[in-house]
Amino acid sequence: MTPRRNFLHLISGIGVLAYGGHQVFGQSSPFKAKVIVVGGGFGGATAAKYLKIFSNGKIDVTLIEPNQHFISCPMSNLVISGDKSITDITFGYEQLVKKYGVHLIHAKVEQIDSQKRVVALSNGKKLNYDRLVLSPGVDFLFEKIAGLDEDAQKVALHAWKAGPQTLALKAQLEAMPDGGVYGISIPLAPYRCPPGPYERATLIANYFKQFKPRSKVLILDANQDVTSKGPLFKKIWATRFKELIEYRGLHQIESVDIKNKTIQFEAQGELKLNIVNILPPMQAGKIAVDTGLIKPNQRWCEVDFLTFESRVVPNIHVIGDAIQNAQLMPKSGHMANQHGKVCASAVVALLSDHEVNPAPIYNNTCYSFVSKNEAIHVASVHRYDAIQKTMLPVQGAGGLSVEANELEGLYANSWANNIWSDFLA
Ligand SMILES: Cc1cc2nc3c(=O)[nH]c(=O)nc-3n(C[C@H](O)[C@H](O)[C@H](O)COP(=O)(O)OP(=O)(O)OC[C@H]3O[C@@H](n4cnc5c(N)ncnc54)[C@H](O)[C@@H]3O)c2cc1C
């Protein structure tokens, strides 16, 4: 065993670590630890790459992801509005294999036996692990909305996982006659990407303004008020889309009648729409639920924020949207990317008997486009509090755009390019 040293000394910065000053695992280290990463999205792909970097390639890392390509949810609202194409947001995983030596298996994890530390895959294979990193994203609680059965889900799309539904919603908008009504139903927070629904509504209103000016966007929000960037979105709706966008808070959807294209609310009766875009309530991805990582009556996985190890099942680290967030921590790709790095460094430390960083800090920036070229942002910084054993927002750090403009649009595009490269290139 190497003496326990402060791992912080070793990770004085990503650059140092990445490009190889220090060796966490010595060349002659006899221990070949096996880490399995489940889910190749923002969290999982980041963790897989940085596990390799932080261990100087010494850890055996296997990434398991059913999809052949990564399709980004950030920027997917611009595909729906016709301002980007699906190929603009679609990327391969090959660099993780070629450049970093990650083993990549395209399959679904069907079962995790946390006692034996074995995962069973949809291709029939079984793999064992020393530690497992789980980043399965969210799944939808369709059953919470009466009438939203499998057939109804083909019409009342969510398009909240980028891919075929992104294109299907775009096609619905193109087919809708001018003068039609598009409605987006937003669940009670917490849900994936707090500002995402308002960004979508604004971009669709932009599309209507150009191509179907007699049409209308209805934002039907179960929350009392806009959950993110409220004053900025409201100002834009009031000044640019007065006749086009209508916001209704406290509209909790109860059921949908897909034949008649109506939705019913708990308190406000019924509404007829041409396009019904329902974001159902969400919870941690099914595999997290099936593995017993969620406490009774909860929807998300509780973790130790120093290591992201589950508070329920040892040796499984959960990151990304699937976790129970700390105060003001959004479910975002940026956050999942930060979780991936902090978790990777902690897993390397645990497997090499070094001290885990006792004071992680991470940040978040969420851009929202309000037209093809203009964006707004919200940013925050979060620091570990050793007394409360949780992440707390750093007072006075972060902030909000003053207004939407094209410079922010440029920054937003750069943010996307940078973060995609950070975990895929
Ligand atoms: C419209 C929209 C816009 C958004 N815009 C932004 C933005 O501008 N900025 C931002 O920061 N965030 C944004 N987000 C949020 C962001 O997409 C998510 O927060 C992020 O994807 C979470 O990362 P994750 O790793 O938890 O999940 P994901 O990225 O969803 O990855 C989960 C992966 O796990 C895989 N998986 C699931 N189950 C299994 C299993 N059993 N076996 C193997 N693999 C499995 C899935 O196939 C998937 O690839 C947006 C989201 C949406 C919907």
Token pair, residue 324, equals 């129970």
Q: Are residues 164 and 275 located together in one domain of the fold? A: yes
How do the pLDDT tens digits run along the chain, 425 residues long? 333 443 333 333 333 333 333 345 554 454 689 999 999 999 999 999 999 999 999 999 999 999 999 999 999 999 999 999 999 999 999 999 999 999 999 999 999 999 999 999 999 999 999 999 999 999 999 999 999 999 999 999 999 999 999 999 999 999 999 999 999 999 999 999 999 999 999 999 999 999 999 999 999 999 999 999 999 999 999 999 999 999 999 999 999 999 999 999 988 999 999 999 999 999 999 999 999 999 999 999 999 999 999 999 999 999 999 999 999 999 999 999 999 999 999 999 999 999 999 999 999 999 999 999 999 999 999 999 999 999 999 999 999 999 999 999 999 999 999 999 999 99
Q: Could you tell me if the CB of 109 is within 6 A of ligand 1? A: yes
Per-residue confidence (pLDDT) for residue 31, from 0 to 100: 60
**pTM assigned to the model:** 0.94
Per-residue confidence (pLDDT) for residue 266, from 0 to 100: 86
Give the strand pairing for 316-318 and 131-134.
parallel
Q: Is residue 322 part of a domain?
A: yes
Closest CA to 320 of 192, 135, 164: 135
Q: Is residue 73 part of a domain?
A: no
- Give the CA-trace dihedral at 182, 188, 190, 196, to 10 degrees: 20
Which of 358, 382, 414 is the C-terminal boundary of a domain?
A: 358
Q: Is residue 37 part of a domain?
A: yes
Q: Is residue 97 part of a domain?
A: no
Token pair, residue 36, equals 């399995």
Specify whether the CB–CB gap between 301 and 288 falls below 8 A: yes
Size of the chain in residues: 425
Q: Are residues 211 and 257 located together in one domain of the fold? A: yes
Peptide bond before residue 3 is cis, with ω within 30 degrees of 0: no
Three-class SS state of 255: strand
The strand ranges marked E within 196-350 are 216-221, 245-248, 253-257, 262-265, 269-272, 275-278, 282-284, 316-318
Q: Are residues 341 and 410 located together in one domain of the fold? A: no
Q: Residues near 164 by Cβ (< 8 Å), separated by ≥ 6? A: none
Q: Are residues 272 and 404 located together in one domain of the fold? A: yes
Q: Is residue 79 part of a domain?
A: no
Distance CA 184, CA 263 (A): 11
- Domain limits for position 333: 7-66+106-139+283-358
Q: Are residues 182 and 223 located together in one domain of the fold? A: yes
Which of 329, 358, 387 is the C-terminal boundary of a domain?
A: 358
Q: Are residues 368 and 237 located together in one domain of the fold? A: yes
Distance CA 52, CA 100 (A): 6
Q: Could you tell me if the CB of 38 is within 6 A of ligand 1? A: yes
Instruction: Write down the residue that tokens 């990770």 correspond to.
Output: 11
Q: Are residues 334 and 410 located together in one domain of the fold? A: no
What is the DSSP secondary structure assignment for residue 219, as one 8-state letter?
E
Per-residue confidence (pLDDT) for residue 375, from 0 to 100: 98
Sign for the pseudo-dihedral over CA of 198, 266, 182, 74 = positive
Which of 335, 358, 381 is the C-terminal boundary of a domain?
A: 358
Probe residue for ligand 1, chosen from 169, 192, 228, 376 as the CB with the greatest number of ligand atoms within 8 Å: 192
CA of 208 to the centre of ligand 1 (A): 28
Distance CA 385, CA 28 (A): 37
Q: Are residues 236 and 305 located together in one domain of the fold? A: no
Three-class SS state of 112: strand
Probe residue for ligand 1, chosen from 38, 42, 377 as the CB with the greatest number of ligand atoms within 8 Å: 42
What is the DSSP secondary structure assignment for residue 195, as one 8-state letter?
T
Distance CA 331, CA 401 (A): 20
Q: Residue 192 carries which side chain, given as an amino acid letter?
A: R
Q: Are residues 272 and 331 located together in one domain of the fold? A: no
Q: Are residues 49 and 34 located together in one domain of the fold? A: yes
Distance CA 152, CA 260 (A): 11
Q: Could you tell me if the CB of 196 is within 6 A of ligand 1? A: yes
Q: Is residue 101 part of a domain?
A: no
Give the strand pairing for 103-105 and 60-64.
parallel
Task: Point out the ligand 1 atom lying closest to the alpha carbon of residue 331.
Answer: 19
Closest CA to 195 of 236, 256, 137, 154: 236
The CB-side HSE value for 69 (13 A sphere, CA atoms) comes to 13
| Nearest protein Cα to ligand 1, atom 25 | 43
CA angle 305, 311, 313 (to 5 degrees): 130
Sign for the pseudo-dihedral over CA of 307, 311, 315, 317 = negative
Q: Are residues 330 and 302 located together in one domain of the fold? A: yes
CATH code of the domain in which 111 resides: 3.50.50.60
Q: Are residues 330 and 377 located together in one domain of the fold? A: no
Q: Is residue 71 part of a domain?
A: no
Q: Is residue 92 part of a domain?
A: no
Give the strand pairing for 253-257 and 262-265.
antiparallel
How many domains in the chain?
2
Distance CA 108, CA 99 (A): 24
